[in-house]
A and B are shown apart, each in its own frame.
Chain A
């Protein structure tokens, strides 16, 4: 029987929630890496037992953790005694070595001056669709790294950061983070990324060169609202069957593109607020998408204090509120950009975590919800693995 494994990153550790395909009874393990901020945990689609985690601390910096048994045991890649004795290359203790390629240069700071690029942490880990040893890392200050040795060592794909527009990129309130990495399942040379606050970018040559794909975005908080870069994109998503169709939750506005990001159009439609953080696509219906509206950029909680996921079955514009099982009064939590995910069971399951420590799950594509856990630390990320 199929099962699901929900990987939850929180402000004070990681948790793993497991259930069989019915998704009614859950086991909770954790905290893993207790006390550390876990920005993201994600499994390889090729080998579900291979899971990568970004463990970070303002005091002690970045750590990469890896499990090869589905999250039971964890190690910093390349640090085992066997690997240290390996004659084929010195990789010891470099799984957390994220060094920008060449002279890092500068980007725009909050006050409009130039500020040097400084590595702070890994926001997002995206394992390859083809090789469990290959994984991408989106970092703050914004850059894309990759590892081809299971996380033992990292190399920057510096064509992105060295794009001509780099000096115009600026940090959002959460820092200048590269938070979204979408791998095109039909074209291994094509990758999409999104940066707050620079915008979305695409490579068609495996990461060598990049182009901003922000035409059609309109952002009132930058001097030229239609500028090539500077947009605070919160999240992008795609369905594997239609990788040219992208969905975006921007700081304000829900957007879609049907030409791989060359042109965006707004699909906020009847949402009560088009501010929010996550956006995701149903596993089996490429025109069914989900967002969690938040009141505003200054009030990070749901409109009318009612926690509602909104679903569109038309790829945007027409939205329905999903409320069954979610708190409909006195709710003041937020749902962060990496904290929503879907499983691929039938019917599709959808999960999200809140800044109040709840992880909600729906086993019926959002029609009804139940809290899986209620009292975790602030949830930073939620990913789901569907296991055979």
Chain B
């Protein structure tokens, strides 16, 4: 079970409280998490990555285990604590203008 932390605006949009829990039936990567997240909550499509290019939106960041993974390959396996659910995969809006 993967735990995903969504920023407040996206929680409101997806109508969820707190962390989202996902089953990812593939290698746990940024892409596989986002694929599953968008399948489960289709209203989130286009809000974290571009509909067509699938590139991360410029003001969205991905943190995990105290590291900023925003610029890592979306297909790179994520750390074990993310894959086993002991740490959340954090999606956050960049601090940019208050």
Contacts and interface: CB of A to CB of B under 8 A. Distances in A.
Given A59-B59, A76-B43, A97-B46, A35 B51 contact: no
Contacts of B59: 58-59
B47 interface: yes
Interface string A57-87: 1111111000000000000101100001000
Contact of B9 (A36, A62, A95): A36
A92 B35 CA distance: 13
Given A94-B51, A99-B51, A60 B45 contact: no
Given A62-B46, A93-B46, A96-B46, A34 B94 contact: no
A153 to B, nearest CB: 11
Nearest to A99: B52
Contacts, number: 61
B44 interface: yes
Nearest to A57: B9
A84 B42 contact: yes
A60 B10 contact: yes
B60 interface: yes
Interface residues of B, number: 23
Contacts of A60: 7, 9-10, 13, 47-48, 57, 60, 93
Given A36-B9, A93-B38, A61 B47 contact: yes
Contacts of B25: none
B56 to A, nearest CB: 11
B12 interface: yes
A94 B45 contact: yes
Contact of B12 (A35, A62, A95): A35
A79 B47 CA distance: 14
Given A58-B59, A60-B60, A96 B45 contact: yes
Nearest to B91: A60
Contacts of B48: 60
Contacts of A62: 46
Contacts of A59: 7, 9, 57, 59-60, 93-94, 96
B8 interface: yes
B8 A35 contact: yes
Most chain B CB within 10 A, of A35, A63, A79, A93, is at: A93
Contacts of B96: 58-59
Interface string B23-38: 0000000000000001
Contacts of B44: 93
Given A59-B96, A60-B7, A78-B42, 10 more contacts: A57-B9, A60-B47, A60-B60, A60-B93, A61-B47, A62-B46, A93-B38, A94-B45, A96-B47, A97-B46
Interface of A: 33-36, 57-63, 76, 78-79, 84, 92-97, 99
22 contacts: A34-B12, A35-B12, A58-B96, A59-B7, A59-B96, A60-B13, A60-B47, A60-B48, A60-B60, A60-B93, A61-B46, A61-B47, A61-B57, A62-B46, A79-B42, A79-B43, A84-B42, A93-B42, A93-B43, A93-B44, A93-B45, A97-B45
